[in-house]
Amino acid sequence: MLSHADPVLMSPRASTSMNRGRLAGLCYLGVFLAGFVYIASIPHVGLVGNDVDAASAHIVSDQAAFWVGYASFLVSIALRLILMLLFFEMFKPVNERLSQLAVYFNITATSVQAVVALLLLAPIVLLTGERFTDSFPPTQLEALAATLLRLGYYAYTIGLVFFAGYDLLIGYLALRSTFLPRTVGVLMMITGLGWLTFIAPSVASRLLPINLIAGVAGEAVMIAWLLLRGVDEDRWIEAAAARSTG
């Protein structure tokens, strides 16, 4: 029998899984939109057409756009952490250990993204600060800024590999759940496989844009389903009750 303190009994049905599912979908959509603003505001730093020299020149020449994109990148990182907690609570009734493992993958990936955010500042710090421009030749500073941006690109792909693990776990949990369609779980696992190709950048570049399409498609379907339908409230409560009594 469930204890009186059990959250399944304490929470009204309409305020449990259904709202949590739609909130997760809204948060996930925010991640996508913030990422789009980031890529649009700071061109040449994405996975397609990465050009660190052009990116560095653009950052210095259009700093207003850079700060918009930079802020959007930070927002996407913050939203991913919120989404991580929402997904942990959502999928905990399916398998708590795997849901915790997904959290660790996400924390690692978002930590790497924070490093990317730091490296993105290299052109601003090196090419616009008088302390550096007065002490070093412009060509050296430009080369150093481009090198740091290149490291940021590789760091970003490393983060994608950990996000691949996260998406694979979320996809598996969705597949095993009773409160989301199995198709959503399968597509999320395909998304994970798409991002996993970036474990070898040379291989990933040859698979473009197939791996990018695979990476985006599953997440887009998950977002759409959560926003439009949420999760099956009754089945989520049943799964949470079964975990509590198991």
User: What are the residue boundaries of the structural domains of the chain, listed by start?
Assistant: 13-245
pLDDT at 138: 83
Of 170, 158, 165, residue with least CA distance to 47: 158
pLDDT at 130: 66
Q: What percent of the chain has a predicted confidence (pLDDT) above 70?
A: 89
pLDDT-derived band of residue 133, with 50, 70 and 90 as boundaries? low
pLDDT-derived band of residue 42, with 50, 70 and 90 as boundaries? very high
The predicted-structure confidence for 61-107, as pLDDT tens digits, reads as follows: 999 999 999 999 999 999 999 999 999 999 999 999 999 999 999 99
pLDDT at 173: 98
Tokens standing for residue 179 = 């409160």
| Greatest CA separation for the chain | 74
pLDDT for residue 49 is more than 70: no
Q: For residues 218 and 166, is the Cβ–Cβ distance under 8 A?
A: no
Measure the CA–CA gap between 54 and 77, rounded to whole angstroms. Answer: 24
Q: What percent of the chain has a predicted confidence (pLDDT) above 90?
A: 72
pLDDT for residue 167 is more than 80: yes
Q: For residues 218 and 167, is the Cβ–Cβ distance under 8 A?
A: yes
Of 113, 35, 110, residue with least CA distance to 72: 35
In the chain, the amino acid numbered 67 is: W
Residue that wins the pLDDT comparison between 14 and 160? 160
| pTM of the predicted model as reported, rounded to 2 decimal places | 0.88
Report, as an integer, the average pLDDT of 20-41: 94
pLDDT for residue 241 is more than 70: yes
pLDDT-derived band of residue 166, with 50, 70 and 90 as boundaries? very high
Q: Kindly report the average pLDDT of the chain as a whole number.
A: 88
